A and B are shown apart, each in its own frame.
Chain A
């Protein structure tokens, strides 16, 4: 009796999916278009697709270890730099203890070091502080090269996908999903005003390769396997794919929420990977699934 009821429910769900999959497919496409337009506007305003941190725009990052009076430093630097700096605390989530205070500014490291020393009345040594300085020429060069690398990475990934499936539409579907996996987190990061580091762009490169495995799984199951109905194969792939994304999220999220006392560049890699993985859930299981189902129906693959 219970089985019968379950069966009817499954059939109902299948019928609903068959009727609405093209509509569902449009949701991520619309989101991608909105994000893309946002990025174009963002680019026209900032001449860059991201808000660059000092590793990409040039300047100094000083990390002060231990118990530092952040408010005192904030007000002292505010007077000197008039907002031309960012100050944040690196806090250990478990203990709530401030591990370090980070100051970022486009100014030269010697000037910032002297100003912090006079504000706090302490001498900055290699024991109590880390100083990172990147010249503006190099940082511009870094940014341009990493963007080129991102493009190359995307092209190489596309070649691999075409080689793997050797059919146009399914390959394009995977490549579009990867594209959306990058565009969505990028737009969100820009919207939230997060400054992206060189390591952050490296995370986008990894996202290109990291996010497509569920798409490969779906496409392979739908096209290459012939057991069960198409809907069953898609649902099977969905169950596995969601578990894959979930475990991947559990691998990357602790660096952001549980163990927070880590280098900023390191945490940003994981934030971007996490956002990309979340974007991948809708891109794979709404858009890509829709394209594949439509393609299989057209080609008579059931």
Chain B
């Protein structure tokens, strides 16, 4: 049977979506996924990263989290002893020593690339703005960087922080955390960030008041050099100057005046400058011996980043540098934050909702099939409508997975409502095709497409404002509706018209 190219396009897109939603590699893959790996831990230095899949540890096969949990007591028989670990992850073997467990968490491998939103998977979400102040876009970006830092300090994993904007031009920070509680979120957002530079126990400067300038770019800012790491991989050093107020510089001079030259590193003083964020040590910087007792208002901040190769080390160093610069500029925020919306959704209820959504989709399919069969009394026509409807929903899900969209309840509502309009358009095509008039079949289908395109543009026009209104909280509804009708008009309906043409000719 010769198929029209439009039908081939539909088949190709369906196959591509199926492969994308259910990647064969993941479908049959056993193991556990690494999450929340601690930076600068032995595992990280050895090259293990978030998202890597562990398949065995010390020759014990790891197929899922249960296997992993059962394997740990066997591997770490004696808590106090250091154990040699050979870990197979992503096709490579990583050998290192560990004591009493690993510096990361693991989860079961997700078999699909579909991601569910907070209201279906559970977790906490906060929409945050500055109290009595309108934040600019760059201020929101700085706020996001600092909140990211603080969330690490609080030990919160699996956090997503992004900027959102509404129709009135207000900028917000949206934080979503899987498995967090209301109080975790309030602690993270509402307690003011505190940044301090200390030598020993003495505070030399505090973020927000003692630092007058941070040089983010320019000749003196950037990566200095890269070196090979003793444990494998590479590390790169960065530096950038900051200006301290006179008062802070004097404090530094007084403290450094009492320090001696380090015996191990004769280029530096005996103590380091420790940078603290919310009382958590973020970094320790060497102090050059030339600064001893000097009232220096401009000091050079140095640090490093590491990676398994040069490019990863450079990227890490740049990230670290930017992190430090942000902390130094906005370490203590010059404004108070306000949580304007705070939701915590129970994962139990979310699972119940997801199950019911699947049942709902099935019920909708069955009911529409029955109505269409009663009307047309032809299995071929009814099944082609159902097939098209299914294709539209499936391709929409495929695109959602491709763009990494979190499917929340409004997004699913958009897909189901989109299915409704899809069926309407197919009814128009069927009606034009079977109408008993003189015009050619091609002409009649062209007529049908005028109506379909008209309906398509009215849906797009009506849903567009939702992208911006209400801080984009209902964006999912607009996105999936628009995706669904667009998939319909570009891929499924042209193919459906060909299928109907063929059924009628036969």
Contact = CB atoms under 8 A, between A and B. Distances in A.
B413 A138 contact: no
A261 B352 contact: yes
Interface in B303-321: none
Interface stretch (B144-152, B234-242, B433-441): B433-441
Contacts of B338: 135
B221 to A, nearest CB: 39
B195 interface: no
B469 interface: yes
Contacts of B478: 202
A209 B425 CA distance: 14
A252 B356 contact: no
Contacts of A228: 437
Interface stretch (B95-103, B106-114, B254-262, B360-368): B360-368
A199 B474 CA distance: 7
Contact of B353 (A125, A247, A262, A273): A262
B261 to A, nearest CB: 53
Contacts of A145: 166-168, 468-470
A263 B409 contact: yes
A160 interface: yes
B413 A126 contact: no
A130 interface: yes
Interface string A249-261: 0111011001101
B339 interface: yes
A254 B462 CA distance: 24
Contacts of B455: 209, 212-213, 216
Contacts of B413: 199, 255, 266, 269-270
Contact of A261 (B346, B353, B464, B477): B353
B462 A251 contact: no
B447 A213 contact: no
Kindly name the residue among B341, B357, B413, B460 whose own CB sees the greatest number of chain A CB atoms within 10 A.
B413
A262 B350 CA distance: 9
A65 B437 contact: no
A252 B417 contact: yes
Interface residues of A, number: 79
B138 to A, nearest CB: 22
Contacts of A227: 437-439
B477 A126 contact: no
Given A141-B170, A205-B462, A263-B353, A250 B368 contact: yes
Nearest to B459: A209
B401 interface: no
A122 B171 CA distance: 38
B163 interface: no
Contacts of A150: 465
A244 B385 CA distance: 13
B357 A156 contact: no
B412 A220 contact: no
Contacts of B457: 160, 164
B451 A130 contact: no
A258 B423 CA distance: 20
B463 A251 contact: no
Nearest to A257: B363
A246 B457 CA distance: 22
Given A63-B346, A270-B413, A220 B364 contact: no
B187 interface: no
A255 B421 contact: no
A255 B421 CA distance: 16
A157 B407 CA distance: 27
B410 interface: yes
Contacts of A126: 122, 124, 179-181, 344, 346-347
Report whether over half of chain B's contact residues are helix, strand or loop; otherwise say mixed: helix
Contacts of A179: none
B224 interface: no
- Most A CB contacts (10 A, CB to CB) among B450, B468, B474, B481 go to B474
Contacts of A148: 167, 465, 469
A132 B437 contact: no
Nearest to B181: A126
A251 B419 contact: yes
A156 to B, nearest CB: 4
A134 B368 contact: no
Contacts of A263: 119, 353, 409
A217 interface: yes
A216 B458 CA distance: 10
A301 interface: no
B371 A247 contact: yes
A206 interface: yes
A128 B346 contact: yes
A279 to B, nearest CB: 16
Nearest to A264: B409
Contact of B416 (A99, A109, A251): A251
Nearest to B431: A240
A296 interface: no
A150 to B, nearest CB: 8
Given A129-B346, A138-B127, A157 B461 contact: yes
Contacts of A206: 417, 459, 462-463, 477, 481
A294 interface: no
Interface of B: 119, 122, 124, 127, 166-168, 170, 179-182, 338-349, 352-353, 356-357, 359-360, 363-364, 367-368, 371-372, 375, 409-410, 412-413, 416-417, 419-421, 423-425, 427-428, 431, 435, 437-439, 447, 450-451, 454-455, 457-466, 468-471, 473-474, 477-478, 481
9 contacts: A65-B346, A127-B346, A148-B167, A199-B409, A199-B474, A248-B420, A251-B423, A254-B363, A261-B352
Closest 8 CB pairs of A and B: A209-B462, A251-B420, A156-B461, A149-B465, A149-B469, A138-B340, A209-B459, A213-B455
Given A126-B344, A135-B341, A141-B168, 19 more contacts: A109-B342, A126-B122, A128-B348, A134-B341, A138-B340, A142-B469, A142-B470, A153-B465, A160-B454, A160-B458, A198-B474, A199-B474, A199-B477, A206-B459, A209-B460, A210-B417, A210-B459, A240-B427, A269-B417
